[in-house]
Amino acid sequence: MMEAVEDTNLEAAIGWLADTILANLPAGGKLNSWIRQADLGNDVDKLRSEVEAVDMVVSAVQGRAAGNKPLTRSLAAVKELLYDADDVVDELDCYRLQQELQPETLLEMDGHETQQVERSSETVVGVQSSGNSRLRSKEWIHFDITEFEQNGGPARARCKLCQTELMCETKKGTSVLRNHLKSKACSNKRRASDPSSSTVDATTISTHVAAGNSSGRKRMRTGEVSTHIPTTNPKFSETIQDITCQLQGKREAITRLLKILGSDSGASSNHHQSTISDPRRRTSSLVQGKVYGRAAEKRSIKALVKEHKSTAGVTVLPIVGIGGVGKTALAQLVYNDPTVGSQFDHKIWIWVSNNFDEMRLTRDILGYVSQETHDGLCFPKLQEVLKGHVKSKKVLLVLDDVWEDMDKCRWNKLLAPFKSDGANGNMIIVTTRKPSVANSPS
């Protein structure tokens, strides 16, 4: 049982790290603009795409790493690589901020570390890089983690410099710590406890010592606003490319292992199961493996289903959580429960992912309730055919792993056949990482 819990924690940690990296690498914004000016856009785009792909594949593991050492080793390697990727992203943002906030300093990049050199004395100041500490970024070396979240991420941390305890959960943890180190409150407490520290400000504390020579140094005039477009060391690009390549290799290894596990599971053809590598995979792997720690949530959902039994129309039940926390596993427990299944005429499981295509989803849903082919039909006709099959029937529909935010109009189009006259107590379960998605179909 402990192995199963540890493997689930691996999946949760990977999901948390992937969410953090993707949140820190938005398609727009200052960092994205700076990255492209630094001629790293292509490398970072490939890294972002690979992190998304890895996250998608790992989300399909669903606890099957328990007792499978090759799969566990691959997941552990992915976690370490994502830590490396997160460090790289933080280093990029740090270098950008240094150029914006410290135009009077000399900045140097080597590999994925930066250094600050004072103009007056050319003396390196700062602290050792945290690249080997496995924490998210260099700011964390000034903090002791005092509390963890259930997903394995840090929840609270205490500043080693001023002993202040901070909430650092979710995706903004590093920003919270960085802002604290720069705050007057932290600086004043440090000066009060150590007068000699008054010459070192919070920005200085957050810098790295570089490994390497200073040949790539870029000088800025004192008081000048930085307009410098950085010329990056080739090693930085090589680091990003190396992480991306290794992530791709581990993702492909996990995909092969999941294919083997899928072929051994004997899943029913009624589930229309397809492989992990297919980006349009229609269903989840509905293997009834052991799931720990979800009994209470399962009872709650079953109670809601029971209360819903005599309700007309349609009820939407969202399951919301970060990647790897077990949303799909919980939905599977409910979907496979005989007492739940006995209350519905049709059970339908559709894997949505980041491609919310109403026509494709409607056609996939029809595959569960009709033996006919529906190629060539337009969307309104598909909806009409589906409406005829589910009319006066009770349907349990699971839409798994919905990523895309949709307006209510798109949701209403997809769900119209289940809300039409004669709808008889249909229930729709939606698993998603986004609360905004959960609110859309209500």
pLDDT in tens, 28-38: 778 888 888 88
The amino acid present at 174, given as its one-letter code, is T
Domain co-membership, 250 together with 285: no
Q: Are 241 and 371 part of one and the same domain?
A: no
**Is 296 found in the same domain as 414?**
yes
Residue 331 lies in domain: 270-439
Average pLDDT of the residues in 24-30 = 79
For the entire predicted model, the pTM comes to 0.42
One domain, residues 345 and 374: yes
pLDDT digits (tens, 9 = 90+) for 36-87: 888 888 899 999 999 999 988 888 887 777 778 888 889 999 999 999 999 8
| Domain final position from 265, 290, 323 | 265
Shared-domain flag, residues 341 and 300: yes
CATH code (residue 404): 3.40.50.300
Whether 175 contacts 169, CB under 8 Å: no
Distance of CA 397 to the CA centre of its chain: 25
pLDDT for 180-201, tens place per residue?
887 878 877 766 655 444 333 4
* Residue spans of alpha helices (H) in 279-357: 295-307, 327-336, 338-341
Cα separation, 341 vs 337, whole angstroms:
6
Q: At a CB cut-off of 8 Å and minimum separation 6, what does 100 contact? A: 226
Residues 355 and 282 in one domain: yes
